[in-house]
C-alpha cells in the first residue's frame, strides 16, 4: 500500500510456507485477499514477495508468471520488493545457519538472485522502483581464518557486481530502476554499519573500478555511481538493534558515504533487562523462545563492543548475569513487553520517527516471520496479526 504518497508499506510473505510455486501460490491466494480487504480495501496493496529457489524456477515455467501477474491485477495487488535471502525451504524444518546457504561465493546464489530480478522486472508496476533483499555475503562461523573471510568477501563482491551490471543494463534498456538490498545480521560476514562501509570501501568499490573499466570502459567515479545506485542496504530494524546502533547514527554515516537504503524491514528483537529479583522468571520466559527451526543469536554490549552468542542455547546453558541482552527472534512489533521480557519496539519507533522527517527509503516491509514458532500465548489468527502490525506502523507514521 502507498501510504500518503511517500511509502510503500507491506509485509513479507516469508511468513507463509513456500517450498515450491504450488504451495506459495496457494498461500498467497488464501491469505493476501483477506489482508488486503482489511488493510487496504480501497487502494492497491503492495506485497513483499518471498520465493524459494524452487518456487522461482517453477514460476518461470508453463506460463505461471503471466498467470500470477493476471491474478495480482485482478486482486489489486502489486509486487515492489522481494526477499531473496532464504534460498531453500523456510518452514517446517531446521533452517538455522543454512539460511545463508548457498552464499554469495557461489554461482547458485548469483543464479537465484538474477532469476528473481528477471521476474521482478516483469511483475513491477510501470514507473516504480523495485528491490530484492539478500544475505550479508555469508555466515561468519563457516570460515576458520582471515584469509578465508577475505576470499569470501572478494568472491561475494564479484558476484554482486555482476548483479549490479545486470541491473544497470535493465535500467538502460527498459527504464526500470532495480536495486539489490544487502541485509546485515549478527554472525553474518556483515553485521553492522561499520561492516557495510568496509565492504563498499575495501571490496565493492576497488574491485568494481577494475571490473567496470574492463567490462564497460567506466572511470572510477562512474563505476562508484553505478555500484551505489544498484547495490544498497536492507536496514532490518531487529538486526541493527542487535548491533546496539542508533538509527540516526547509521543513517547519517551511510549518507556521508553515499550508500543508499533500498529497504527498511520493520521487525523487533527480544530485549532482556537484568533484574535480580526476577532473574529466574526472565530465564524461564526466554527458554520458551528456544525452538529448533531458526537461528536466534543473542547480543550483549560490553563496553564499546558487542559480544554475539551464536544461538539461544549458548546463553541458556550458562545463565550468566548481564545488564541487557537482545535476542534475534522476530517478535510481534505491536507489543512492547512480553513480561518479564521486552522488545526492541523503541528502536522501530526511532526509525519511523526519523523517516517522518527524512524519507531515506520508501520501501517498508514488516518482517515478523516467526508466528508459527511463537509461544502459544502470543499467537493469534495469522491475517489478524499481520493487519494489526501493518496498522500499527501506519499509525506510528501518522498517516
pLDDT digits (tens, 9 = 90+) for 144-167: 999 999 999 999 999 999 999 999
Angle at 25 between CA 19 and CA 27, to 5 degrees: 80
User: For residue 167, how far is the Cα from the chain centroid?
Assistant: 19
CA 181 – CA 261 distance, rounded (Å): 7
Position 342 pLDDT exceeds 80: yes
Average pLDDT over residues 250-270: 97
Average pLDDT over residues 192-202: 98
Average pLDDT over residues 211-237: 98
Do 230 and 178 contact (CB within 8 A), yes or no?
A: yes
Express as a percent the part of the chain with pLDDT over 90: 83
Do 227 and 260 contact (CB within 8 A), yes or no?
A: no
pLDDT band at 238 (very low <50, low <70, confident <90, very high): very high
CA 162 – CA 211 distance, rounded (Å): 9
- Strand stretches in 23-167, DSSP E: 45-50, 77-83, 130-134
Based on its alpha-carbon atoms, the radius of gyration of the chain, rounded to whole angstroms, reads 20
Do 344 and 326 contact (CB within 8 A), yes or no?
A: yes
Average pLDDT over residues 179-196: 97
Q: Is 199 helix (H, G, I), strand (E, B) or coil?
A: helix
Q: What grid cell was written down for 144? A: 576458520
- As a whole number, the mean pLDDT across the chain is 93
Do 299 and 326 contact (CB within 8 A), yes or no?
A: yes
DSSP string, 303-321: TTEEEEESSHHHHHTT---
Taking each helix axis from N to C terminus, what angle separates 205-216 and 146-174, rounded to the nearest 10 degrees? 40
Q: Is 3 helix (H, G, I), strand (E, B) or coil?
A: strand
Average pLDDT over residues 106-121: 98
Q: What is the pLDDT of residue 5?
A: 46
Q: What is the pLDDT of residue 304?
A: 86
Place of cell 568494481: 208
Position 214 pLDDT exceeds 80: yes
Amino acid at each position: 500500500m502507498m501510504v500518503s504518497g511517500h511509502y510503500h508499506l507491506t509485509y513479507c510473505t516469508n511468513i507463509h510456507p513456500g517450498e515450491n510455486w504450488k504451495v506459495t501460490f496457494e498461500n498467497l491466494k488464501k491469505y493476501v485477499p483477506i489482508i488486503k480487504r482489511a488493510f487496504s480495501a480501497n487502494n492497491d496493496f503492495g506485497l513483499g514477495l518471498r520465493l524459494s529457489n524452487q518456487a522461482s524456477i517453477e514460476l518461470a515455467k508453463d506460463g505461471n508468471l503471466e498467470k500470477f501477474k493476471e491474478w495480482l491485477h485482478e486482486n489489486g495487488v502489486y509486487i515492489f520488493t522481494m526477499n531473496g535471502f532464504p534460498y531453500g525451504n523456510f518452514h517446517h524444518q531446521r533452517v538455522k545457519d543454512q539460511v545463508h546457504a548457498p552464499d554469495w561465493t557461489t554461482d547458485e546464489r548469483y543464479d537465484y538472485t538474477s532469476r528473481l530480478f528477471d521476474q521482478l522486472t516483469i511483475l513491477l508496476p510501470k514507473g516504480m522502483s523495485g528491490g530484492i533483499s539478500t544475505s550479508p555475503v555469508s555466515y561468519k562461523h563457516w570460515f576458520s581464518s582471515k584469509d578465508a573471510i577475505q576470499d569470501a568477501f572478494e568472491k561475494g563482491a564479484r558476484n554482486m557486481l555482476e548483479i549490479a551490471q545486470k541491473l544497470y543494463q535493465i535500467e538502460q534498456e527498459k527504464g526500470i530502476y532495480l536495486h539489490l538490498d544487502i541485509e546485515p545480521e549478527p554472525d553474518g560476514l556483515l553485521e553492522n554499519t561499520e561492516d557495510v562501509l568496509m565492504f563498499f570501501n575495501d571490496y565493492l568499490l576497488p574491485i568494481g573500478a577494475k571490473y567496470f573499466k574492463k567490462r564497460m570502459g567506466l572511470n572510477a567515479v562512474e563505476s562508484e555511481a553505478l555500484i551505489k545506485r544498484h547495490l544498497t542496504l536492507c536496514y532490518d530494524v531487529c538486526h541493527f538493534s542487535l548491533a546496539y546502533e542508533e538509527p540516526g547514527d547509521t543513517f547519517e554515516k551511510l549518507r556521508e558515504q553515499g550508500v543508499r537504503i533500498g529497504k527498511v524491514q520493520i521487525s523487533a528483537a527480544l530485549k532482556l533487562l537484568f533484574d535480580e529479583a526476577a532473574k529466574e522468571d526472565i530465564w524461564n520466559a526466554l527458554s520458551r523462545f528456544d525452538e529448533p527451526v531458526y537461528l536466534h543469536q543473542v547480543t550483549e554490549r560490553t563496553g564499546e563492543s558487542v559480544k554475539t552468542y551464536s544461538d539461544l542455547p549458548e546463553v541458556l546453558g550458562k545463565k550468566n548475569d548481564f545488564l541487557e541482552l537482545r535476542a534475534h527472534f522476530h517478535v510481534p512489533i505491536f507489543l512492547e513487553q512480553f513480561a518479564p521480557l521486552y522488545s526492541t519496539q523503541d528502536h522501530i519507533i526511532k526509525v519511523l520517527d526519523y523517516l517522518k522527517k527524512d524519507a531515506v527509503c520508501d520501501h517498508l516491509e514488516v518482517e515478523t516471520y516467526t508466528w508459527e514458532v511463537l509461544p502459544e500465548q502470543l499467537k493469534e489468527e495469522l491475517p489478524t496479526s499481520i493487519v494489526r502490525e501493518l496498522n500499527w506502523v501506519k499509525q506510528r507514521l501518522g498517516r
